Structure 1
Amino acid sequence: MTGGEAVELGLPSPPGPLRLLLHPPGVDLVSDRLRRERCWEPFETRLCLALVGPGAICVDVGANIGYFTVLAAALAGPAGRVYAFEPDPDNFALLERNVHLNGFAARCALSPLALADRAGAGKLYRSGDNLGDHQVYPGDGERPWLPIRLARGDAVLGAAVDAIDFLKVDTQGSEAAVLAGLLRHLAGQSRPPVLLVELTPFSLALAGSSGRMLVEELATLDLPFWIVDHVAGRLVATEAEALATWCDNVAATPGDRGFMNILVGRGPAL
């Protein structure tokens, strides 16, 4: 199921103009928001604009239909490279089409793999009402699933990439497993990365991990932590233990599905 409607994104120039083909109305939160507003996560978009420069090596894990993939490819330019991972076949079809639509095929490497802490067979449990909310674990309700392939990020990217400049991870609860498969590579690279990661204690617990575990994994990189305050449009400096304690408190509160995006690494001048 892929849509034929192309929407021009409301971005500054550079990098605009960029266009995205969208899913039909009502089946994907990202597509519906882009149809209305021509931008997804405005403050996170600003961060990407500030952090990704010409020649950057970027990795988009949970690429969906390619919003951040296309944005990063435009900013990184012909000398840069974007590696995007999206295991859902409907999303991946639009990801491919959107990369080609914007003329970025030569600077993007697209993969239908789901990055994890192990390689092998996996399952993608699909949401019935939001194509951006699929997950690689059963969760707390019945979902249809399809077979997918799992891979460790360090194995897939290790031979191809000396250093990752910008890494986005948004995988609906499997972020800890994704990072576990990438940390060895990130820790050993010659220049520090910048990571934009979704932190959702409820979903992480369903996936067999926890918010504290994810924060403690990221703390091994010895980089600054920032809370992405998308309402106020600012970065708030924080410490790993403060984030881990927040995760513990959310996890201990029944029904609390609170989440935030965090930035790990140098904060840009906005």
Structure 2
Amino acid sequence: MVDLRVPGLSRSIKLQVHGPHDRCISRQLIEQGIWEPYETQLLLGLLKPGDVFVDVGANIGYFTVLAAERVGSSGKVFAFEPAPDNFALLLANVRDNGFNDQVEALAAGLGSESVEARLHLSEDNLGDHQLFATEQARHSVPVSLLCGAQYLATRLSRIDMLKVDTQGFEFQVIEGLLPLLLSLAQPPQILIELTPLSLRQAGSSGRALIELLAKLQQPWWIVDHIEHQLVASDAAALAQWCDNVDACAGDAGFMNILVGPGLV
């Protein structure tokens, strides 16, 4: 059990983690009490009481629980996580922090359609499970995928913030959600990982993801982890960056981007 050390929380939050064998998320939470400090700051700055937050690739529930704390009893959080071990901790963390009434957690991933799939597991980075096979041999487990628009359309009328971190499956997630996103009175703020190599391995591309998100006609921002700021960008520049990364074989360069008005 880890006590989070996140500035700006109105109450104490504890998380159950995997342990130090999870060399990324769990280890950093054990050592520092916070994960991705600037993304955490963005989430807490963008969400307000009563908001609706959708967490795709929720892992052990770090952002899910923080969002539940911020949106309060009048808000709602939907969390999707297909990995069984991660989902067990997600459920425990929602329960232990008293957020059962605010959080709907699903043991499933999101995709372009509702199907059965296989999740290829990383042994030492439990946030790097993948919904596609590569040359690297991995143990895999069966999981369910849901079409986001079909699942959520009858369960919400607004999304204020959407976080997508699915290790290369982001295109399929957005493709499945897009009919719903386009139907909303106001598109959500979207915090999403952009990794051209993983997107290509999953059967799409960085450029394809950018072109899909551009249909929402929203502002673009690069999330600058070093300077802790949002850097204005546009679809053309981000698509070209993806092409440049793709031109270098094996380049695993990535960035997080925010699609939406940003902090105001």
TM value normalised by structure 1: 0.96
Q: Distance in 2 between matches of 1:248 and 1:140?
A: 23
Give the aligned partner of residue 20 of structure 1: 15
Matched, 1:107 2:102: yes
Q: Distance in 2 between matches of 1:212 and 1:16?
A: 41
Q: Deviations over 1:59-97 (max 9, x none)?
A: 000000000000000000000000000000000000000
Matched, 1:95 2:95: no
Q: Distance in 2 between matches of 1:14 and 1:33?
A: 19
Helix, strand or coil at the partner of 1:231: coil
1:213 to partner: Cα distance = 0.4
Matched, 1:264 2:259: yes
Matched, 1:127 2:126: no
Matched, 1:226 2:199: no
Give the aligned partner of residue 38 of structure 2: 43
Matched, 1:217 2:212: yes
- Paired residue type of 1:223: Q
Q: Distance in 1 between matches of 2:259 and 2:118?
A: 29
Q: Deviations over 1:229-248 (max 9, x none)?
A: 01110000001010000000
Q: Distance in 2 between matches of 1:206 and 1:161?
A: 32
Give the aligned partner of residue 146 of structure 2: 151
1:15 to partner: Cα distance = 3.3
Measured on the aligned residues, the alpha-carbon RMSD in Å equals: 0.9
1:145 to partner: Cα distance = 0.6
Give runs of aligned pairs for residues 149-188 of structure 1, distance below 5 A.
Answer: 149-188=144-183
Matched, 1:32 2:34: no
Helix, strand or coil at the partner of 1:82: strand
Give the aligned partner of residue 193 of structure 2: 198
1:163 to partner: Cα distance = 1.2
Q: Distance in 1 between matches of 2:65 and 2:12?
A: 11
Give the aligned partner of residue 82 of structure 1: 77
CA contact (8 A) 1:28 1:132 kept: no
Give runs of aligned pairs for residues 241-256 of structure 1, distance below 5 A.
Answer: 241-256=236-251
Q: Distance in 1 between matches of 2:207 and 2:94?
A: 35
CA contact (8 A) 1:11 1:17 kept: no
1:28 to partner: Cα distance = 4.5
1:13 to partner: Cα distance = 4.0
- Unaligned regions of 5+ residues in structure 1, if any? 1-5
Q: Distance in 2 between matches of 1:257 and 1:268?
A: 29
1:192 to partner: Cα distance = 2.6
Q: How many residues in Structure 1 have an aligned counterpart in Structure 2?
A: 264
Q: Distance in 1 between matches of 2:227 and 2:85?
A: 34
- Unaligned regions of 5+ residues in structure 2, if any? none
1:27 to partner: Cα distance = 2.4
CA contact (8 A) 1:86 1:92 kept: yes
Distance 1:260 1:13, change over 3 A: closer
- Paired residue type of 1:218: L
1:17 to partner: Cα distance = 1.5
% identical equivalent positions: 50
1:47 to partner: Cα distance = 0.2
Distance 1:28 1:66, change over 3 A: farther
Q: Distance in 2 between matches of 1:187 and 1:15?
A: 34
1:131 to partner: Cα distance = 1.1
Q: Distance in 1 between matches of 2:123 and 2:29?
A: 20
1:140 to partner: Cα distance = 3.1
Helix, strand or coil at the partner of 1:60: strand
